[in-house]
A and B are shown apart, each in its own frame.
Chain A
Amino acid sequence: MSEKDFLQKVNAHLDEQAEHLDAATQSRLNQARQRALEHVKSSEQDHMTDVIAGTRFRWLPASAMAGIAIVALGSFLFLQNINTVPEGGLDDPLEIVTSNNNLDMYEQLDFYMWLVEEDNSAS
């Protein structure tokens, strides 16, 4: 018998043995396979959980950005109110220049001061 024939006979014998396992062993192998496949299902469930979590929190970044925008707008408006020049208190030359009041009065200040002096001298 050649080596090839010998090996074929050995393989045939081993195949036959594997094909004719007793029912209890076949059942145990089936159970083992099902247990192993449960690990695929559990990894699928993990994936599903990730997907659901991803869907649930999908709008989280947009919500956060909207919140930040609201806070920034509120802060801006608040600070704008603080920077508003109080009425009647324009002692600082810079405040005078930066305020929105009409500057014509300041341009004719000498005239108004002269009027005041004239009134005083008349009285």
Chain B
Amino acid sequence: MQHDYAIDISPAKESTLDKARTLDRFLAQVERKAFRIAELAVSNREEALDIVQDSMIGLVQKYADRPEEEWTPLFYRILQSRIRDWYRKNKVRSKWMSWLGFSKKDDECECEDAMASVPDPAGRDPQQTASNHESMEQLDEAIHNLPYRQQQAFLLRTWEGLSVADTASAMKCSQGSVKTHYSRALHALRLELEDYRYE
């Protein structure tokens, strides 16, 4: 009877340890990029760290059993979802602050996609950085100052190398929107980084 017991446990335990090791390797591989993507989106280190941790837990809890090659798009889908949650919470908070008179006004424009025009949370204007010609810093600022959706589409496509379909899935929008956001982001960056282009 003891032999049966040993046969039942070992393969399961072994496969769980293998899974843990594989997940550890995967998360270690994506955590830095994920953190930078979140930090660029929310402009707050602590919030970005919380978002990354929630995303990691979400992946482990929900998708650990899925094939490894699916983890990257799934992880970024969770990350984007957490970032959107952060924006929603912030929007509610800013509405309350506005209602209580702590803010000047809610200056949301009536665009077709409100998220596309979310301003930089740090309050910096892309125009303000145009005169900053330190190439590396300028690039960082330029990415930072892109509207949220353009920034995320650009980072996921260019830096993380997700396909248009995976980026659309992560951002919960159509593939056409991803192409539009990406194209606008690229155009804005190249315009803003004229000097950087020719270095």
Contacts and interface: CB of A to CB of B under 8 A. Distances in A.
Contacts, number: 100
15 contacts: A11-B158, A13-B140, A14-B143, A18-B35, A25-B35, A29-B32, A32-B31, A33-B24, A33-B28, A33-B31, A36-B53, A37-B60, A40-B20, A43-B16, A47-B12
Contact of A18 (B32, B139, B158, B186): B32
B93 interface: no
A33 B27 contact: yes
Interface of B is mostly: helix
A48 B13 contact: yes
Contacts of B139: 9-10, 13
Interface residues of A, number: 32
B48 to A, nearest CB: 9
B33 interface: yes
Interface of A: 1, 3, 6-7, 9-11, 13-15, 17-19, 21, 25, 28-29, 32-33, 35-37, 39-41, 43-44, 47-48, 51, 54-55
A91 B125 CA distance: 115
A29 B35 CA distance: 8
Interface residues on B, range: 35 or more
Contacts of A1: 197-198
B158 A29 contact: no
Interface in B21-61: 23-24, 27-28, 31-33, 35-36, 45, 49, 52-53, 56-57, 59-61
B74 to A, nearest CB: 13
A47 B56 CA distance: 21
Contact of B8 (A11, A32, A54): A54
Given A1-B197, A32-B52, 15 more contacts: A10-B158, A11-B158, A14-B33, A14-B159, A18-B35, A21-B35, A33-B24, A33-B28, A35-B53, A36-B60, A37-B24, A39-B57, A41-B20, A44-B13, A48-B13
